[in-house]
Structure 1
């Protein structure tokens, strides 16, 4: 969801940049002073939103593995020309070209038979026994290509929030079918649900809850409020506030920010052109008010980029390691894990934070390609594998930021447009509603599952699933509860959370307790 910036927002950006000197030298003095003063890790907190654009089929990311649930899962998904049912816990990977004993199908790259069984996890707290089933217990697993995520869960560094989605108030299947309660607008629409997750309103929303939290806490960042909300994965409404606007950083190793045309020694074949262009775009004394506003903002932006690039060249930042090489499990080829590179940029900004005296930051990174109407086995497997590697990399990078373990100061969490249908369309899934999400950090009460993981299975052969409409799960936890719990940890007061999330009052449990 791309944010829209009008003239007022543009002017706010100018004011937000005002804390940084228009002259780079003064900005560098600020940075140097912040570095000299130092900052204890306990002063700093960051939220990192990992948005999975396109709608992740979370039913194949975290799934129940007890016999009762597994039977209905496998029946619903082991269908069509390209079945998407995963293999049960304990199934050995089937070499390419050999026949799998569970399905009777020949194994190949990018197929569930080749990956082996779901990876068992054991939440500390027992989940409720599903309604309308014969189950006596519940067990769970992760996608077989998420071994790093399993390790983080087992270490108590990662938690699962079950069956979360956009809601206005608690909603049952009966209420949904009767349309007796208000429902989120434009369910199952990519753009609208991306915006509702990020901003609490459909496409066209001007501010997101990450930006609104930044508005409330930006004052603790002193003169460098420009660096309160950072995106390394493209602009999105999540980070836009009334006063805070997102600041984009590059995923390149260096520089952190490039102001095109103003760097370098030559432009259009002229050695004088870069300086002339810089003078033109920074001019704030013209006959046009808009041009003057623009020049003032660019002037400050160029100064901010110079300051940031200088700090990003310091040893504490350059010491942040690069992500390990990544191999696509569906092709066997080495490729770029763009999510891991974005999280490297986040880790580098966290390493730079003490130089600017920053105490609260909100970040957003993203990974696309989750709209798995077709070829789900190939595409989702690759994406989940990337998420797993990126989470593990980020956790290890934060463990040593300039000799300080920053993992307890940073909470990362996943979000997506929606989950996917529980049934398959032949080789993929279609738009649905609720599904599980992942939360990682040293402050997270990990190794556990929060919320209610619902009964699984389609309404078929006399079975009625009280948590499903059509092939979509109805949320049992709202995005507002999810976000408010993160906001409470971040330092937002209960009264302010109720302002940011006006529907929060409709839920009995505004804080879910995972941090």
Structure 2
């Protein structure tokens, strides 16, 4: 298969992708129930700003909890507030209480200390590299760059495509990444943008080009003109763009009513509404992330309409850049706690919906974030940018438990990038890579070794350690 690369400015690509806010869709299958046994989907939840993994999953054994409490000081969560994960030595932040039953049922994995890496990296190698980026990923501790590394599954901060988008293209999915959380880089491939869907209650379709708008002559002419573009196109990019436009129009007519439907409205799915009931008030889904996952549940329910037996979804929650005022007056409330509550409650409702739809074993949901945060708090009751972080993976296919290596809780210790006292903040050198994390998820989807090497350029650098084992 030949790959054609077209260089065009990001603003032009945004214009193309944003013309309808939609992505490529393959031929649309008629509405018919797909057998869940043949179907698999990944749902990425990106926590923008850099989630504090050190207060998300906390060690509860006497020695390590003491180390944690000593360094975390005013940010330390009281030991009694933590929700112990099964019979393990780890507990979840109290705001994530809704996820404890999933762990107990073996449906959640915790992946420790994962982050962007070119290859396995020791502290000695990192120190010897001295910022030359020969063995160290570029622009560490920078939001924009590290979001790119996580979303692109590469160590190239200039990467234009996302690992979700490349996966959709390489695996030949019927449509690109289906985004209920905006037009992120995760869903971009060389020739397609993600299919971006609005929240419940919002119209879906090209502005002025929905079927009901075409009674007005100028709109009808505009649509004809857009459809006529195909006659002029002879490049891959223009052809792909024109196909995106046509497919998006067809799909918006077909999915528009479903996407717009709110809980309790005529034709809404009672099982999905019941699963999300704790987060529904006055006919509206109450939090931003829950709105996105409510939409994802509706789309997974009509998966055959979107076509194909494999789908990738993208959702997101922002606000995790907790440099100050991270906790409230009682150490378990405050800004970070509120974000984690939104995350935990939405994930629990989403998993309940998948179970009700018979899709619990067919859908795997996982978190990503810019980076972890410093183990040592800053002077503003917050945390600063770090590197390795802990992430959550949930679903019926997940082998519940703990994966990867939990860092040694010592400032300046073997996992901390810092040596001199002024640089000892507890920024962990990852012991598992984004490539391995993505490869574990994509391997479950059915990606072959060759496909994984195409999608994740650094994966071969990890030798035989290609899967982290949680699926």
Question: Normalising to structure 1: TM-score of the pair?
Answer: 0.76
Secondary structure of the equivalent of 1:468?
A: coil
CA contact (8 A) 1:69 1:457 kept: no
1:69 is aligned to 2:70: no
Alpha-carbon distance in structure 2 between the residues aligned to 1:288 and 1:209: 28
CA gap 1:363/1:300 in 2 versus in 1, 3 angstroms: closer
Q: Which runs of 5+ in 1 are unaligned?
A: 21-26, 90-116, 125-138, 328-333, 460-464
CA contact (8 A) 2:272 2:353 kept: yes
CA contact (8 A) 2:55 2:93 kept: yes
CA contact (8 A) 2:442 2:452 kept: yes
TM alignment of 1:146-157, pairs within 5 A: 146-157=96-107
TM alignment of 1:369-384, pairs within 5 A: 369-377=319-327, 378-384=334-340
Q: Could you tell me which residue of structure 2 aligns to residue 31 of structure 1?
A: 30
CA contact (8 A) 1:374 1:428 kept: yes
1:361 is aligned to 2:314: no
Encode CA deviations 1:3-39: one digit per residue, 9 max, x unaligned.
947579969x99x85844xxxxxx6xx424xx1xx42
Q: Could you tell me which residue of structure 2 aligns to residue 284 of structure 1?
A: 229
TM alignment of 1:446-461, pairs within 5 A: 446=400, 448-459=401-412
RMSD: 3.3
CA gap 1:252/1:8 in 2 versus in 1, 3 angstroms: closer
CA contact (8 A) 2:271 2:353 kept: no
The structure 2 residue matched to 1:197, chosen from 150, 161, 165, is 150
Alpha-carbon distance in structure 1 between the residues aligned to 2:438 and 2:301: 25
CA contact (8 A) 2:40 2:445 kept: yes
Q: Could you tell me which residue of structure 2 aligns to residue 330 of structure 1?
A: none
**Matched residue count:** 430
Alpha-carbon distance in structure 1 between the residues aligned to 2:161 and 2:222: 33
CA gap 1:467/1:295 in 2 versus in 1, 3 angstroms: closer
Q: Could you tell me which residue of structure 1 aligns to residue 345 of structure 2?
A: 389
The structure 2 residue matched to 1:259, chosen from 206, 221, 225, is 206
Alpha-carbon distance in structure 2 between the residues aligned to 1:351 and 1:436: 30
CA gap 1:296/1:457 in 2 versus in 1, 3 angstroms: closer
Q: Could you tell me which residue of structure 2 aligns to residue 246 of structure 1?
A: 194
Q: Could you tell me which residue of structure 2 aligns to residue 479 of structure 1?
A: 434
TM alignment of 1:419-430, pairs within 5 A: 419-426=372-379, 427-430=381-384
Alpha-carbon distance in structure 2 between the residues aligned to 1:253 and 1:318: 17
The structure 2 residue matched to 1:306, chosen from 244, 253, 257, is 253
TM alignment of 1:45-444, pairs within 5 A: 45-78=40-73, 83-89=74-80, 117-122=81-86, 139-179=89-129, 182-199=135-152, 200-218=154-172, 225=174, 227-253=175-201, 255=203, 257-263=204-210, 272=217, 274-284=219-229, 297-309=244-256, 315=267, 320-321=272-273, 323-325=276-278, 336-377=286-327, 378-401=334-357, 405-426=358-379, 427-444=381-398
Alpha-carbon distance in structure 2 between the residues aligned to 1:318 and 1:254: 20
CA gap 1:276/1:319 in 2 versus in 1, 3 angstroms: farther
Alpha-carbon distance in structure 1 between the residues aligned to 2:340 and 2:393: 15
CA contact (8 A) 2:55 2:77 kept: yes
Secondary structure of the equivalent of 1:362?
A: strand
* Structure whose CA Rg is larger: 1
CA gap 1:393/1:286 in 2 versus in 1, 3 angstroms: same
